[in-house]
Amino acid sequence: MTVLDTASSGASTRQAPSHSVTFGMTLVDIGGITRRNLLRILRTPRLLVFSSIQPIMFVLLFRYVFAGAIKVPNGLYVDYLMPGIFVQTALFGGASTAVGLAADLQGGMIDRFRSLPMARSAVLAGRTIADLIRNVVVLVLMVAVGVLVGFRFRASPGSDVAGLALVLLFGYAFSWVFVTTGLLVKDPETAQVAGFLPLFPLVFASSAFVPVSTMPGWLQAFANVQPVSVTVDAVRGLLSGGAVEHWLWQSISWGVGIFLVFAILSVRQYRRL
């Protein structure tokens, strides 16, 4: 007795499936889920406000409390700091991806979606795209805060835009780590905590806030090569007009790798929920 046994004793088993999800339908499904999640973000404005306060406090903390104690190789600390803040903000924003998915799982929304003849990837893609769009808004806010505390774009407009785009794309790739987390832990409170765990070593043992050369040797070995450092260095180069090629290439490789691995893992997890 096996599930592959197609010999039918009662009802007729029809030969060819008459329904399948086409590429066009997949896009429609992703659009519908993205819109639903954006409406949710718009209708909880307080959440958006409070989740923006945390990165602003980080800016104030590092710009005015720690800045005097941190020496950077050349230029102003505020110009060193803000690319790190941008990347940190984009990454931390991903925690809401994990929380949102876990809440949908717990409340039965995911069961409903999985019982509909829709593309299975759409629930996850629609979630991450909505969170990417929210990240655009938060990034614009952080740029404004940066300019207020003395940060200046020092490269060509094209290079500046490329730097901010890299922040968003790296954040998007990393949001798939949160998708996987949310689907694995299945409850919003745990997802909130679990989502941040990998972020702390990656964000703080990196070149985001202090030069890596000031860290102990063993930590430098990690901090020099890990994805957040190379991305922050690439963004810093793009926004200041300095050299970026080496970091940019590494950052894009990390981003593509993280995206592929975690998108595959999370879609597989979603199928077998």
Residues that bind other proteins (CB under 8 A): 1-3, 5-6, 8-14, 17-21, 25, 28-29, 32, 35-36, 39-40, 43-44, 107-109, 111-118, 273
The DSSP code sequence of 3-31 is: TT----SSSPPPSS-S----HHHHHHHHH
Distance CA 166, CA 172 (A): 10
Separation of alpha carbons 83 and 238, rounded Å: 10
Query: What minimum distance in Å lies between the beta carbon of 7 and other proteins?
Result: 9
Closer of 8 and 74 to other proteins (Cβ): 8
CB of 19 to other proteins, least distance (A): 4
- Between residues 123 and 263, which has the closer beta carbon with respect to other proteins? 123
Rounded-to-integer distance, Cα 93 and Cα 268, Å: 24
Min CB(94)–other proteins separation in Å: 20
Residue with Cβ nearer other proteins (21 or 155): 21
Which CB sits closer to other proteins, 221 or 273?
Answer: 273
Question: What residues contact 47, with CB distance under 8 A and at least 6 apart?
Answer: 41
Give the closest residue to 271 by CA, choosing from 130, 151, 120, 113. 120
Q: How far apart are CA 90 and CA 167, in angstroms?
A: 7
- Give the side-chain half-sphere CA count within 13 A for 99: 12
Residues 6+ apart with CB under 8 A from 202: 91, 226, 227, 228
CB of 116 to other proteins, least distance (A): 5
Smallest gap, in angstroms, from Cβ of residue 28 to other proteins? 7
Which of 111, 211 has the CB closer to other proteins? 111
Of residues 21 and 72, the one with the C-beta less far from other proteins: 21
Least distance between other proteins and beta carbon 23 (Å): 13
